Amino acid sequence: MDAFEMPTEMRCIEISEPGGPEVLTEARRAVPVPGHGEILIEVAYAGVNRPDALQRAGAYKAPLGASDLPGLECSGRVAALGPGVTGWSVGDQVCALLPGGGYAEFATCPAEHALPVPVGVDLKSAACLPETCFTVWSNVVMRGGLKAGERFLVHGGSSGIGTTAIQIAKALGARVFTTAGSPEKCAACEELGATAINYKTGDFVDVLRAEGGANLVLDMVGGSYIARNIKAMADDARMVFIAFLESPKAEINFAQVMLRRLTITGSTLRPQSDAAKAEIARQLLGQVWPMVSAGKLRVIHDSTFPLAEAAAAHARMESSQHIGKIVMEVKGG
Ligand SMILES: NC(=O)c1ccc[n+]([C@@H]2O[C@H](COP(=O)([O-])OP(=O)(O)OC[C@H]3O[C@@H](n4cnc5c(N)ncnc54)[C@H](OP(=O)(O)O)[C@@H]3O)[C@@H](O)[C@H]2O)c1
């Protein structure tokens, strides 16, 4: 489509009210107009992430000024440039971290939060890269300081985040340990190079302690895992929280944190400043995109749904049966 053929309306998926997957409703809206420093993307594929399900349920509000439509990442082509944008041209293939609004035929984002589609990657896989790569790189490397030779423990290894974290950590030269909830999920994690522990039959604390302890833990579970993570950590280790699927609350003996010089931190990506996200994007382009093009980091695809079946995509995610990423085909989907 050329700029002069730009439609004024688009198909999208709205959250009609907080609730289950059935509240995701197909609607028509005006095509958004890119503001200063923003690009408009004609969306080909939109990645589905657990935070989308939290937003749908009313537990994760869109930040001020962001689209109320769900969708934190997409791939496609640049359809228009807002004032002041340099470095992109109409027609360029991109994948982008979005402040929201990815479940739609068109979405806007700051130009600096978009990245070129890595060499050798198709648009379907490219749509699955931004949210997990931004989250994993910023928490595992920028915040967690993972180094070659360290022992890295990531929970939920078969998740979108987990499969990305395993591969990035391996590519950096770390030894990777992970937990997952079934033999099939463990096998998928082992294939990516991790030592996988089925948490229903094994104890990650025993495995990590036998190896000398984890130097870095990436946790999305919380609750009962917090005290166990501390037991599994080596002296001077770091623990980074990115979610609390079980609970954000726990009773902890903080003497261990003091005596063993542990660091406990965490972050969420969405509320961070545009400048902070742009810095993560720059580091991804320099350090992670070459891993992708070299085949060291690949998207593990679970399933693909047409945009009209967003509810089914969310139901699949919340079944927790998936391994890797769920994606929606938007153009023609
Ligand atoms: N902080 C951030 O900026 C940020 C950004 C993106 C995502 N996240 C978070 O990171 C996590 C992974 O995201 P994702 O998109 O990769 O989601 P996902 O694929 O659905 O991953 C969640 C996985 O966690 C495991 N799990 C462990 N304990 C669980 C529990 N109590 N309830 C449900 N699942 C549990 C499940 O696998 P098992 O069968 O092995 O249990 C499930 O596959 C989510 O919690 C998400 O909210 C945080």
Mean pLDDT, the chain cut into blocks of 10 residues (333 residues total): 74 98 98 98 98 95 92 98 97 98 98 97 98 98 98 98 98 98 98 98 98 98 98 98 97 96 97 96 98 97 98 97 97 73
**Dihedral sign from CA coordinates of 15, 71, 134, 327:** positive
Q: Which of 23, 27, 30, 36 is nearest to 8 (CA)?
A: 30
> Are 36 and 19 within 8 A, CB to CB?
no
Q: Residue 57 has what pLDDT?
A: 97
How far apart (Å, rounded) are the C-alpha atoms in residues 325 and 284?
19
Q: Which of 33, 39, 32 is nearest to 85 (CA)?
A: 39
Ligand 1 center from residue 220 Cα (angstroms) = 6
Q: Residue 2 has what pLDDT?
A: 47
Q: Residue 333 has what pLDDT?
A: 62
The model's pTM: 0.96
Q: Are strands 93-97 and 114-116 parallel, antiparallel or unpaired?
A: antiparallel
Q: Burial letters for 277-298: b for 16+ Cβ neighbours within 10 Å, e otherwise?
A: beebbebbeeebbebbeeeebb
Please report the atom of ligand 1 found closest to the CA of residue 158.
43
CA distances from 60 to 20, 63, 90, 275, 316 (A): 14, 9, 33, 22, 19
> Are 55 and 318 within 8 A, CB to CB?
no
* Residue 76: DSSP 8-state: E
Helices (H), 104-212: 123-126, 130-136, 160-171, 183-191, 204-210
Measured from the Cβ of residue 17, the count of other Cβ atoms closer than 10 Å reads: 9
> Are 256 and 278 within 8 A, CB to CB?
no
Q: For ligand 1, which residues put their CB under 6 angstroms from it?
A: 49-51, 131, 135, 156, 158-161, 180-181, 185, 220-221, 242-243, 245-246, 267-269, 317, 320
* Residue 23: DSSP 8-state: G
E strands along 111-169, which residues? Answer: 114-116, 151-154
Pocket test for ligand 1, best of 49, 135, 167, 219 (most atoms within 8 A of CB): 49
- Identity (one letter) of the amino acid at 88? W
Which residue in the block uniquely carries the two structure tokens 């969405």? 270
Ligand 1 center from residue 251 Cα (angstroms) = 22
> Are 43 and 78 within 8 A, CB to CB?
no
Q: Residue 4 has what pLDDT?
A: 54
Pocket test for ligand 1, best of 179, 220, 229, 239 (most atoms within 8 A of CB): 220
Ligand 1 center from residue 31 Cα (angstroms) = 32
Please report the atom of ligand 1 found closest to the CA of residue 242.
1
CA distances from 264 to 88, 145, 163, 242, 260 (A): 39, 12, 23, 12, 12
> Are 111 and 87 within 8 A, CB to CB?
yes
Pocket test for ligand 1, best of 163, 164, 245 (most atoms within 8 A of CB): 245
> Are 323 and 189 within 8 A, CB to CB?
no
Residue nearest to atom 27 of ligand 1 (CA): 156
Helix (H, G, I), strand (E, B) or coil at 160: helix
Ligand 1 center from residue 273 Cα (angstroms) = 23
Q: Are strands 73-81 and 93-97 parallel, antiparallel or unpaired?
A: antiparallel
Crossing angle of the two packed helices 160-171 and 183-191, in degrees rounded to 10: 30
Number of helices (H), then strands (E), in the chain: 11, 15
